[in-house]
Amino acid sequence: MKRENVLVSEDALARQREFEAKIKEMFTAREAHPVACVDTFGCQQNVADGQKLMGMLADCGFTFTEDPKEADLVILNTCAVREHAEQRVFGNLGILTHTKKENPEQVICLCGCMAQEERVSQRVKESYRHVDLVFGPHALWKFPELLWQVYETRKRVFAVDNEDGTIAEGIPVVLEKGVKAWVSIMYGCNNFCSYCIVPYVRGRERSRDPQCVLQEVRELVEAGYKDITLLGQNVNSYGNDLGLDYHFPDLLEDIDKIPGEYLIRFMSSHPKDATNRLFDVMAKCPHVAKQLHLPFQSGNDRVLKEMNRRYTREQYLAEINYAKKVMPGLVLTSDVIIGFPGETEAEAMDTVSLVEEVGFDALFTFIYSPRPGTKAAAMPDPATRAEKQKWFDKLLEVQNANSAKLHAAYVGKTVRVLVDGESDDENFPLSSRTEGNRLVRLKGGKDLIGKFMDVKVTDSNTWALYGEPV
Protein backbone atom coordinates (compact mmCIF):
# COMPACT_ATOMS: atom_id res chain seq x y z
CA MET A 1 0.00 0.00 0.00
CA LYS A 2 1.32 3.47 -0.86
CA ARG A 3 1.81 5.66 2.22
CA GLU A 4 -0.27 8.51 0.73
CA ASN A 5 -3.18 6.10 0.33
CA VAL A 6 -2.80 4.91 3.92
CA LEU A 7 -2.86 8.30 5.64
CA VAL A 8 -6.22 10.08 5.80
CA SER A 9 -5.62 13.68 4.66
CA GLU A 10 -5.86 16.59 7.06
CA ASP A 11 -8.61 18.09 4.89
CA ALA A 12 -10.70 14.95 5.19
CA LEU A 13 -10.23 14.94 8.96
CA ALA A 14 -11.07 18.66 9.21
CA ARG A 15 -14.34 17.90 7.39
CA GLN A 16 -15.21 15.42 10.13
CA ARG A 17 -14.70 18.15 12.75
CA GLU A 18 -17.22 20.22 10.72
CA PHE A 19 -19.80 17.43 10.92
CA GLU A 20 -19.24 17.31 14.68
CA ALA A 21 -19.96 21.05 14.86
CA LYS A 22 -23.17 20.58 12.80
CA ILE A 23 -24.43 17.87 15.13
CA LYS A 24 -23.62 20.01 18.16
CA GLU A 25 -25.47 22.97 16.62
CA MET A 26 -28.48 20.80 15.88
CA PHE A 27 -28.76 19.78 19.55
CA THR A 28 -28.13 23.33 20.76
CA ALA A 29 -30.95 24.60 18.54
CA ARG A 30 -33.25 21.96 20.06
CA GLU A 31 -32.01 22.88 23.56
CA ALA A 32 -31.26 19.18 23.99
CA HIS A 33 -28.48 17.63 26.08
CA PRO A 34 -27.73 14.39 24.26
CA VAL A 35 -26.45 11.36 26.15
CA ALA A 36 -24.60 8.40 24.63
CA CYS A 37 -23.92 4.85 25.81
CA VAL A 38 -20.81 3.27 24.26
CA ASP A 39 -20.50 -0.46 24.98
CA THR A 40 -17.19 -1.96 23.89
CA PHE A 41 -16.44 -5.69 23.56
CA GLY A 42 -13.20 -7.49 22.65
CA CYS A 43 -9.55 -6.55 22.84
CA GLN A 44 -7.67 -3.41 23.90
CA GLN A 45 -7.55 -2.27 20.29
CA ASN A 46 -11.33 -2.05 20.43
CA VAL A 47 -11.14 -0.25 23.78
CA ALA A 48 -8.84 2.30 22.13
CA ASP A 49 -11.38 2.64 19.28
CA GLY A 50 -14.15 3.13 21.87
CA GLN A 51 -12.16 6.03 23.35
CA LYS A 52 -12.07 7.64 19.89
CA LEU A 53 -15.82 7.16 19.43
CA MET A 54 -16.36 8.86 22.78
CA GLY A 55 -13.94 11.65 21.82
CA MET A 56 -15.90 12.36 18.63
CA LEU A 57 -19.21 12.19 20.52
CA ALA A 58 -17.93 14.59 23.19
CA ASP A 59 -17.08 17.02 20.38
CA CYS A 60 -20.69 16.61 19.14
CA GLY A 61 -21.92 17.72 22.58
CA PHE A 62 -22.72 14.30 24.08
CA THR A 63 -22.23 13.29 27.70
CA PHE A 64 -22.11 9.62 28.67
CA THR A 65 -24.11 6.99 30.53
CA GLU A 66 -23.68 3.26 31.03
CA ASP A 67 -27.43 2.66 30.89
CA PRO A 68 -28.83 2.24 27.34
CA LYS A 69 -32.32 3.11 28.65
CA GLU A 70 -31.14 6.65 29.41
CA ALA A 71 -29.28 7.11 26.14
CA ASP A 72 -30.22 9.08 23.02
CA LEU A 73 -27.55 7.15 21.17
CA VAL A 74 -26.30 3.60 21.81
CA ILE A 75 -23.16 2.17 20.24
CA LEU A 76 -22.22 -1.48 20.36
CA ASN A 77 -18.50 -1.62 19.50
CA THR A 78 -18.18 -5.32 18.76
CA CYS A 79 -15.69 -8.18 18.59
CA ALA A 80 -15.80 -11.08 16.10
CA VAL A 81 -12.99 -13.27 17.38
CA ARG A 82 -15.16 -16.08 18.76
CA GLU A 83 -18.77 -17.16 18.23
CA HIS A 84 -19.66 -16.51 21.85
CA ALA A 85 -18.68 -12.82 21.52
CA GLU A 86 -20.99 -12.50 18.50
CA GLN A 87 -23.92 -14.20 20.20
CA ARG A 88 -23.68 -11.77 23.11
CA VAL A 89 -23.88 -8.84 20.73
CA PHE A 90 -26.95 -10.23 18.94
CA GLY A 91 -28.51 -10.71 22.38
CA ASN A 92 -27.79 -7.10 23.30
CA LEU A 93 -29.12 -5.89 19.96
CA GLY A 94 -32.35 -7.76 20.69
CA ILE A 95 -32.69 -6.00 24.06
CA LEU A 96 -32.33 -2.62 22.35
CA THR A 97 -35.65 -3.14 20.52
CA HIS A 98 -37.26 -2.38 23.91
CA THR A 99 -35.27 0.78 24.65
CA LYS A 100 -36.08 2.02 21.16
CA LYS A 101 -39.78 1.29 21.65
CA GLU A 102 -39.67 3.47 24.78
CA ASN A 103 -37.72 6.17 22.96
CA PRO A 104 -38.32 6.02 19.17
CA GLU A 105 -35.83 8.86 18.63
CA GLN A 106 -33.02 6.70 20.01
CA VAL A 107 -30.22 6.09 17.47
CA ILE A 108 -28.64 2.62 17.57
CA CYS A 109 -25.21 1.96 16.05
CA LEU A 110 -23.32 -1.27 15.52
CA CYS A 111 -19.60 -0.94 14.82
CA GLY A 112 -16.32 -2.75 15.37
CA CYS A 113 -15.08 -6.04 13.95
CA MET A 114 -18.44 -7.83 13.67
CA ALA A 115 -19.92 -4.97 11.69
CA GLN A 116 -17.20 -5.46 9.06
CA GLU A 117 -18.34 -9.04 8.38
CA GLU A 118 -20.71 -9.15 5.41
CA ARG A 119 -22.67 -12.01 6.95
CA VAL A 120 -23.36 -9.83 10.01
CA SER A 121 -24.22 -6.60 8.22
CA GLN A 122 -26.65 -8.51 5.97
CA ARG A 123 -28.33 -10.12 8.98
CA VAL A 124 -28.66 -6.72 10.68
CA LYS A 125 -30.02 -5.18 7.49
CA GLU A 126 -32.71 -7.84 7.22
CA SER A 127 -33.57 -8.80 10.79
CA TYR A 128 -32.54 -5.96 13.12
CA ARG A 129 -34.37 -3.07 11.55
CA HIS A 130 -34.10 -0.89 14.66
CA VAL A 131 -30.36 -0.49 14.05
CA ASP A 132 -29.75 2.89 12.36
CA LEU A 133 -26.02 2.87 11.63
CA VAL A 134 -23.60 0.03 10.89
CA PHE A 135 -19.92 0.76 10.25
CA GLY A 136 -16.72 -1.28 10.38
CA PRO A 137 -13.31 -0.34 11.80
CA HIS A 138 -12.29 1.14 8.42
CA ALA A 139 -15.00 3.80 8.64
CA LEU A 140 -14.39 4.75 12.29
CA TRP A 141 -12.76 8.07 11.44
CA LYS A 142 -15.85 9.02 9.37
CA PHE A 143 -18.23 8.44 12.28
CA PRO A 144 -19.29 12.14 12.60
CA GLU A 145 -20.26 12.24 8.92
CA LEU A 146 -22.17 8.95 9.14
CA LEU A 147 -24.00 10.08 12.26
CA TRP A 148 -24.93 13.38 10.63
CA GLN A 149 -26.31 11.42 7.69
CA VAL A 150 -28.53 9.43 10.08
CA TYR A 151 -29.82 12.59 11.80
CA GLU A 152 -30.35 14.43 8.54
CA THR A 153 -32.01 11.70 6.48
CA ARG A 154 -33.45 9.47 9.24
CA LYS A 155 -32.57 6.58 6.94
CA ARG A 156 -30.46 3.58 7.86
CA VAL A 157 -26.76 3.95 6.98
CA PHE A 158 -24.34 1.08 6.25
CA ALA A 159 -20.60 1.83 5.84
CA VAL A 160 -19.01 -1.58 5.64
CA ASP A 161 -16.94 -1.54 2.43
CA ASN A 162 -14.13 -4.04 2.41
CA GLU A 163 -10.81 -2.18 2.18
CA ASP A 164 -7.17 -2.48 3.20
CA GLY A 165 -7.56 0.26 5.81
CA THR A 166 -6.12 3.67 6.59
CA ILE A 167 -4.48 5.61 9.42
CA ALA A 168 -6.26 8.70 10.75
CA GLU A 169 -4.17 10.77 13.17
CA GLY A 170 -5.51 13.32 15.62
CA ILE A 171 -9.00 11.88 16.27
CA PRO A 172 -10.17 13.28 19.63
CA VAL A 173 -10.31 10.77 22.51
CA VAL A 174 -11.91 10.44 25.93
CA LEU A 175 -9.31 8.61 28.02
CA GLU A 176 -10.09 6.44 31.00
CA LYS A 177 -9.32 8.14 34.29
CA GLY A 178 -6.46 6.60 36.23
CA VAL A 179 -2.96 5.42 35.47
CA LYS A 180 -3.43 3.08 32.48
CA ALA A 181 -3.44 4.08 28.85
CA TRP A 182 -3.30 2.30 25.50
CA VAL A 183 -1.55 3.46 22.35
CA SER A 184 -2.15 1.73 19.03
CA ILE A 185 1.14 1.76 17.17
CA MET A 186 -0.18 -0.10 14.15
CA TYR A 187 -3.43 -1.42 12.73
CA GLY A 188 -4.47 -4.54 10.83
CA CYS A 189 -2.83 -7.91 10.42
CA ASN A 190 -1.10 -9.69 7.52
CA ASN A 191 -0.64 -13.07 9.14
CA PHE A 192 -3.84 -14.92 8.30
CA CYS A 193 -3.54 -17.55 11.01
CA SER A 194 -6.00 -20.08 9.63
CA TYR A 195 -8.46 -19.84 12.56
CA CYS A 196 -8.56 -16.06 12.86
CA ILE A 197 -11.03 -13.48 11.56
CA VAL A 198 -8.99 -10.40 12.48
CA PRO A 199 -7.14 -9.95 9.14
CA TYR A 200 -10.50 -10.02 7.32
CA VAL A 201 -12.07 -7.31 9.43
CA ARG A 202 -9.10 -5.10 10.33
CA GLY A 203 -7.35 -4.93 6.95
CA ARG A 204 -3.64 -4.96 6.15
CA GLU A 205 -0.82 -4.06 8.50
CA ARG A 206 -0.05 -0.35 8.64
CA SER A 207 2.29 1.35 11.08
CA ARG A 208 1.80 4.80 12.54
CA ASP A 209 4.54 7.31 12.02
CA PRO A 210 7.09 6.94 14.87
CA GLN A 211 6.93 10.67 15.65
CA CYS A 212 3.14 10.47 16.15
CA VAL A 213 3.54 7.52 18.53
CA LEU A 214 6.36 9.24 20.47
CA GLN A 215 4.33 12.43 20.78
CA GLU A 216 1.28 10.54 22.05
CA VAL A 217 3.32 8.66 24.68
CA ARG A 218 5.01 11.92 25.75
CA GLU A 219 1.61 13.57 26.22
CA LEU A 220 0.27 10.61 28.20
CA VAL A 221 3.30 10.62 30.52
CA GLU A 222 2.93 14.39 31.01
CA ALA A 223 -0.78 13.88 31.80
CA GLY A 224 0.19 11.45 34.59
CA TYR A 225 -0.43 8.06 32.94
CA LYS A 226 2.05 5.58 34.37
CA ASP A 227 1.24 2.23 32.80
CA ILE A 228 1.16 2.53 29.02
CA THR A 229 0.58 -0.41 26.69
CA LEU A 230 1.55 -0.27 23.01
CA LEU A 231 -0.95 -2.14 20.86
CA GLY A 232 -0.83 -4.02 17.60
CA GLN A 233 -1.87 -7.48 16.42
CA ASN A 234 1.82 -8.19 15.89
CA VAL A 235 3.97 -5.33 17.20
CA ASN A 236 7.06 -7.18 15.99
CA SER A 237 6.26 -6.25 12.42
CA TYR A 238 5.94 -2.56 13.33
CA GLY A 239 7.72 -0.42 10.76
CA ASN A 240 7.98 -3.04 8.01
CA ASP A 241 5.68 -0.89 5.85
CA LEU A 242 7.35 2.45 6.63
CA GLY A 243 10.43 2.04 4.42
CA LEU A 244 12.54 3.77 7.10
CA ASP A 245 14.56 0.82 8.39
CA TYR A 246 12.97 1.62 11.74
CA HIS A 247 11.46 -1.31 13.64
CA PHE A 248 9.77 -2.13 16.92
CA PRO A 249 12.96 -2.32 19.03
CA ASP A 250 13.93 1.15 17.67
CA LEU A 251 10.56 2.50 18.75
CA LEU A 252 10.93 0.97 22.22
CA GLU A 253 14.39 2.50 22.61
CA ASP A 254 13.09 5.94 21.60
CA ILE A 255 10.05 5.75 23.89
CA ASP A 256 12.30 4.70 26.76
CA LYS A 257 14.18 8.01 26.43
CA ILE A 258 11.03 9.98 27.35
CA PRO A 259 11.70 11.22 30.90
CA GLY A 260 9.27 10.36 33.71
CA GLU A 261 8.14 7.63 36.09
CA TYR A 262 6.16 5.19 33.97
CA LEU A 263 6.17 1.65 32.55
CA ILE A 264 5.80 0.60 28.92
CA ARG A 265 4.20 -2.71 27.97
CA PHE A 266 3.20 -4.05 24.58
CA MET A 267 0.94 -6.66 23.02
CA SER A 268 0.78 -8.81 21.06
CA SER A 269 4.08 -10.21 19.86
CA HIS A 270 4.15 -12.87 17.20
CA PRO A 271 6.86 -15.50 17.84
CA LYS A 272 7.71 -15.71 14.14
CA ASP A 273 8.92 -12.09 14.23
CA ALA A 274 10.30 -11.80 17.78
CA THR A 275 14.08 -11.30 17.70
CA ASN A 276 16.90 -11.50 20.22
CA ARG A 277 17.39 -7.78 19.60
CA LEU A 278 13.87 -7.14 20.92
CA PHE A 279 14.70 -9.01 24.14
CA ASP A 280 18.07 -7.22 24.45
CA VAL A 281 16.35 -3.85 24.09
CA MET A 282 13.68 -4.81 26.64
CA ALA A 283 16.41 -5.88 29.05
CA LYS A 284 18.32 -2.62 28.86
CA CYS A 285 15.43 -0.10 28.80
CA PRO A 286 14.40 0.83 32.36
CA HIS A 287 10.89 1.99 31.39
CA VAL A 288 10.07 -1.25 29.56
CA ALA A 289 8.29 -3.70 31.89
CA LYS A 290 10.00 -7.06 32.14
CA GLN A 291 6.84 -8.79 31.02
CA LEU A 292 6.25 -10.61 27.76
CA HIS A 293 2.97 -11.72 26.23
CA LEU A 294 4.06 -14.16 23.52
CA PRO A 295 1.11 -16.23 22.23
CA PHE A 296 2.14 -19.72 21.15
CA GLN A 297 -1.39 -21.14 20.42
CA SER A 298 -0.24 -24.77 20.22
CA GLY A 299 2.69 -26.88 21.42
CA ASN A 300 2.47 -29.30 18.49
CA ASP A 301 4.31 -28.68 15.22
CA ARG A 302 1.69 -30.24 12.95
CA VAL A 303 -1.05 -28.12 14.49
CA LEU A 304 1.13 -25.00 14.36
CA LYS A 305 1.63 -25.62 10.65
CA GLU A 306 -2.10 -26.05 10.05
CA MET A 307 -2.67 -22.86 12.01
CA ASN A 308 -0.22 -21.09 9.66
CA ARG A 309 1.78 -19.77 12.60
CA ARG A 310 5.15 -20.21 10.87
CA TYR A 311 7.30 -21.25 13.84
CA THR A 312 7.95 -24.55 15.58
CA ARG A 313 7.74 -25.57 19.22
CA GLU A 314 11.54 -25.66 19.31
CA GLN A 315 11.88 -22.14 17.89
CA TYR A 316 9.33 -20.84 20.39
CA LEU A 317 11.18 -22.44 23.31
CA ALA A 318 14.49 -21.03 22.08
CA GLU A 319 13.00 -17.52 22.11
CA ILE A 320 11.61 -17.96 25.60
CA ASN A 321 14.93 -19.30 26.86
CA TYR A 322 16.84 -16.37 25.41
CA ALA A 323 14.36 -13.86 26.83
CA LYS A 324 14.58 -15.48 30.26
CA LYS A 325 18.37 -15.49 30.06
CA VAL A 326 18.65 -11.74 29.38
CA MET A 327 15.76 -10.87 31.73
CA PRO A 328 15.90 -13.04 34.85
CA GLY A 329 12.54 -12.84 36.62
CA LEU A 330 10.71 -12.09 33.34
CA VAL A 331 6.94 -12.52 33.71
CA LEU A 332 5.54 -14.59 30.84
CA THR A 333 1.99 -14.87 29.54
CA SER A 334 0.51 -16.41 26.39
CA ASP A 335 -2.61 -17.27 24.39
CA VAL A 336 -3.55 -20.89 23.67
CA ILE A 337 -6.20 -22.56 21.55
CA ILE A 338 -7.41 -26.05 22.38
CA GLY A 339 -9.41 -28.13 19.89
CA PHE A 340 -8.20 -26.73 16.57
CA PRO A 341 -9.85 -28.76 13.74
CA GLY A 342 -8.23 -32.18 13.51
CA GLU A 343 -6.26 -31.81 16.75
CA THR A 344 -5.86 -35.16 18.56
CA GLU A 345 -5.64 -35.74 22.28
CA ALA A 346 -1.89 -36.39 22.01
CA GLU A 347 -1.44 -33.09 20.14
CA ALA A 348 -3.46 -31.19 22.74
CA MET A 349 -1.26 -32.78 25.43
CA ASP A 350 1.79 -31.36 23.60
CA THR A 351 0.28 -27.95 24.35
CA VAL A 352 -0.14 -28.93 28.00
CA SER A 353 3.47 -30.14 28.16
CA LEU A 354 4.73 -26.88 26.68
CA VAL A 355 2.82 -25.01 29.38
CA GLU A 356 4.48 -27.20 32.00
CA GLU A 357 7.89 -26.71 30.46
CA VAL A 358 7.76 -22.92 30.18
CA GLY A 359 5.98 -22.16 33.45
CA PHE A 360 3.82 -19.20 32.35
CA ASP A 361 2.68 -16.77 35.04
CA ALA A 362 -0.76 -16.64 33.41
CA LEU A 363 -2.47 -17.89 30.26
CA PHE A 364 -5.40 -16.78 28.14
CA THR A 365 -6.99 -20.07 27.12
CA PHE A 366 -9.60 -20.59 24.43
CA ILE A 367 -11.51 -23.51 22.95
CA TYR A 368 -11.40 -23.23 19.16
CA SER A 369 -14.40 -21.43 17.70
CA PRO A 370 -15.02 -21.70 13.93
CA ARG A 371 -15.14 -18.31 12.20
CA PRO A 372 -17.01 -18.44 8.88
CA GLY A 373 -14.77 -17.36 6.00
CA THR A 374 -11.49 -18.48 7.58
CA LYS A 375 -9.49 -21.43 6.25
CA ALA A 376 -9.85 -23.49 9.44
CA ALA A 377 -13.65 -23.20 9.41
CA ALA A 378 -13.65 -25.45 6.31
CA MET A 379 -11.40 -28.13 7.87
CA PRO A 380 -12.83 -31.41 9.19
CA ASP A 381 -13.26 -31.18 12.97
CA PRO A 382 -14.00 -34.68 14.28
CA ALA A 383 -13.28 -34.21 18.03
CA THR A 384 -16.41 -33.70 20.11
CA ARG A 385 -17.00 -30.70 22.34
CA ALA A 386 -16.82 -33.00 25.39
CA GLU A 387 -13.38 -34.28 24.36
CA LYS A 388 -12.11 -30.75 23.79
CA GLN A 389 -13.50 -29.70 27.15
CA LYS A 390 -11.58 -32.54 28.84
CA TRP A 391 -8.29 -31.40 27.23
CA PHE A 392 -9.08 -27.81 28.13
CA ASP A 393 -9.74 -28.73 31.77
CA LYS A 394 -6.40 -30.53 31.91
CA LEU A 395 -4.68 -27.43 30.56
CA LEU A 396 -6.36 -25.23 33.18
CA GLU A 397 -5.43 -27.62 35.95
CA VAL A 398 -1.75 -27.49 34.99
CA GLN A 399 -1.77 -23.73 34.53
CA ASN A 400 -3.64 -22.98 37.76
CA ALA A 401 -1.20 -25.11 39.76
CA ASN A 402 1.67 -23.27 38.13
CA SER A 403 0.22 -19.80 38.70
CA ALA A 404 -0.38 -20.71 42.36
CA LYS A 405 3.21 -21.96 42.69
CA LEU A 406 4.74 -18.87 41.07
CA HIS A 407 2.56 -16.58 43.17
CA ALA A 408 3.47 -18.41 46.39
CA ALA A 409 7.15 -17.72 45.66
CA TYR A 410 6.44 -13.98 46.08
CA VAL A 411 5.27 -14.39 49.70
CA GLY A 412 7.70 -12.75 52.12
CA LYS A 413 9.34 -10.71 49.36
CA THR A 414 9.20 -6.97 48.84
CA VAL A 415 8.10 -5.90 45.35
CA ARG A 416 7.57 -2.57 43.64
CA VAL A 417 3.98 -1.96 42.51
CA LEU A 418 1.89 0.73 40.88
CA VAL A 419 -1.34 1.29 42.82
CA ASP A 420 -4.01 1.50 40.10
CA GLY A 421 -7.34 1.68 41.92
CA GLU A 422 -9.66 0.22 44.50
CA SER A 423 -10.36 -3.49 44.94
CA ASP A 424 -13.59 -5.20 46.00
CA ASP A 425 -11.92 -6.84 49.03
CA GLU A 426 -12.54 -4.83 52.18
CA ASN A 427 -9.47 -6.25 53.95
CA PHE A 428 -7.27 -5.32 51.00
CA PRO A 429 -9.04 -2.27 49.59
CA LEU A 430 -6.47 -1.31 46.96
CA SER A 431 -5.54 -2.91 43.67
CA SER A 432 -1.99 -2.66 42.36
CA ARG A 433 0.22 -4.26 39.73
CA THR A 434 3.81 -5.43 39.81
CA GLU A 435 6.10 -4.52 36.93
CA GLY A 436 5.25 -7.97 35.54
CA ASN A 437 1.52 -7.02 35.70
CA ARG A 438 0.68 -9.47 38.53
CA LEU A 439 -2.28 -8.27 40.61
CA VAL A 440 -1.48 -7.37 44.23
CA ARG A 441 -4.42 -6.62 46.53
CA LEU A 442 -3.16 -4.16 49.06
CA LYS A 443 -3.84 -2.71 52.48
CA GLY A 444 -3.77 1.09 52.59
CA GLY A 445 -5.67 4.30 51.93
CA LYS A 446 -6.99 5.73 48.67
CA ASP A 447 -4.31 8.44 48.76
CA LEU A 448 -1.86 5.80 47.49
CA ILE A 449 -3.70 5.40 44.17
CA GLY A 450 -1.49 6.47 41.28
CA LYS A 451 1.78 5.90 43.17
CA PHE A 452 4.65 3.50 42.67
CA MET A 453 5.63 1.95 46.00
CA ASP A 454 7.36 -0.99 47.69
CA VAL A 455 5.06 -3.54 49.26
CA LYS A 456 5.64 -6.71 51.22
CA VAL A 457 3.75 -9.72 49.87
CA THR A 458 2.00 -11.50 52.77
CA ASP A 459 -0.21 -14.05 50.99
CA SER A 460 -1.15 -15.38 47.55
CA ASN A 461 -3.48 -17.64 45.57
CA THR A 462 -3.84 -18.70 41.92
CA TRP A 463 -5.10 -15.33 40.77
CA ALA A 464 -3.55 -12.69 43.00
CA LEU A 465 -0.98 -11.65 45.57
CA TYR A 466 -1.83 -9.88 48.84
CA GLY A 467 0.38 -7.33 50.54
CA GLU A 468 0.98 -4.25 52.63
CA PRO A 469 3.09 -1.14 52.12
CA VAL A 470 6.54 -1.33 53.71
Q: How far does the chain reach from its first CA to its final CA, in angstroms?
A: 54
**Site residues for ligand SAM, window 394-453 (CB under 6 A)?**
none
Using the contact rule CB under 6 A, the part of the chain among 194-202, 209-217, 438-446, 449-457 near ligand SF4 is: 194-202
Task: Say how far apart CA 359 and CA 405 lie, in whole Å.
Answer: 10
Q: Which is nearer to ligand SAM, 335 or 387 (CB)?
A: 335
By the rule CB under 6 A, 202 interacts with ligand F3S: yes
Q: Which is nearer to ligand SF4, 14 or 378 (CB)?
A: 378
Under 8 Å CB-to-CB from 27, ≥6 apart: which residues? 33, 34, 60, 61
By the rule CB under 6 A, 199 interacts with ligand SF4: yes
Q: Are 236 and 252 in contact (CB under 8 A)?
A: no
Tell me the pairing of strands 439-442 and 428-434.
Answer: antiparallel
By the rule CB under 6 A, 81 interacts with ligand F3S: yes
Q: In this chain, which of 19, 20, 37, 45 binds ligand F3S, going by CB under 6 A?
A: 45
Using the contact rule CB under 6 A, the part of the chain among 1-9, 10-18, 73-81, 437-445 near ligand F3S is: 73-81
Here's the x/- map for ligand SAM, 179-198, by CB under 6 A: it reads as ----------------xx-x
Q: In this chain, which of 121, 184, 234, 434 binds ligand SAM, going by CB under 6 A?
A: 234
Task: Say how far apart CA 445 and CA 459 lie, in whole Å.
Answer: 19
Nearest partner of 220 among 253, 250, 180, judged by Cα: 180
Query: Bridge-partner residues for 7, per DSSP?
Result: 167
Q: How far is the CB of 339 from ligand SF4 (least distance, A)?
A: 16
Q: How far is the CB of 214 from ligand SAM (least distance, A)?
A: 23
By the rule CB under 6 A, 316 interacts with ligand SAM: no
Which of ligand SF4, ligand SAM, ligand F3S, none does residue 19 bind to, with CB < 5 to 8 Å depending on kind?
A: none
φ, ψ at 73 (rounded to 5°): -140, 130
Q: How far is the CB of 435 from ligand F3S (least distance, A)?
A: 25
Task: Say how far apart CA 123 and CA 42 lie, in whole Å.
Answer: 21
By the rule CB under 6 A, 294 interacts with ligand SF4: no
Nearest partner of 436 among 455, 415, 420, judged by Cα: 415
Q: Which is nearer to ligand SF4, 271 or 436 (CB)?
A: 271
Q: How far is the CB of 216 from ligand SF4 (least distance, A)?
A: 22
Q: How far is the CB of 196 from ligand SF4 (least distance, A)?
A: 3
* Angle of CA points 77, 231, 337, to nearest 5°: 75
By the rule CB under 6 A, 267 interacts with ligand F3S: no
Angle at which helices 44-59 and 143-153 cross, to 10°: 50
Q: Where are the alpha helices (DSSP H) in 264-344?
A: 276-284, 301-306, 313-326
Q: In this chain, which of 113, 173, 285, 332 binds ligand F3S, going by CB under 6 A?
A: 113
- Cα distances (Å, whole numbers) of residue 359 to 248, 355, 395, 444: 26, 6, 12, 32
Q: In this chain, which of 50, 68, 137, 295 binds ligand SAM, going by CB under 6 A?
A: 295
What is the SS3 assignment for 48?
helix
* 303 CB-contact burial (10 Å; exposed 0-12 / middle 13-18 / buried 19+): buried
Task: Say how far apart CA 419 and CA 179 lie, in whole Å.
Answer: 9
Q: In this chain, which of 337, 352, 358, 465 binds ligand SAM, going by CB under 6 A?
A: 337
Interacting residues with ligand F3S (CB under 6 A): 42-43, 45-46, 79-81, 112-113, 197-198, 202
Interacting residues with ligand SF4 (CB under 6 A): 189, 191-193, 196, 198-199, 233-234, 270
Interacting residues with ligand SAM (CB under 6 A): 43, 81-82, 195-196, 198, 233-234, 268, 270, 295, 297, 335, 337, 366, 368-369, 371
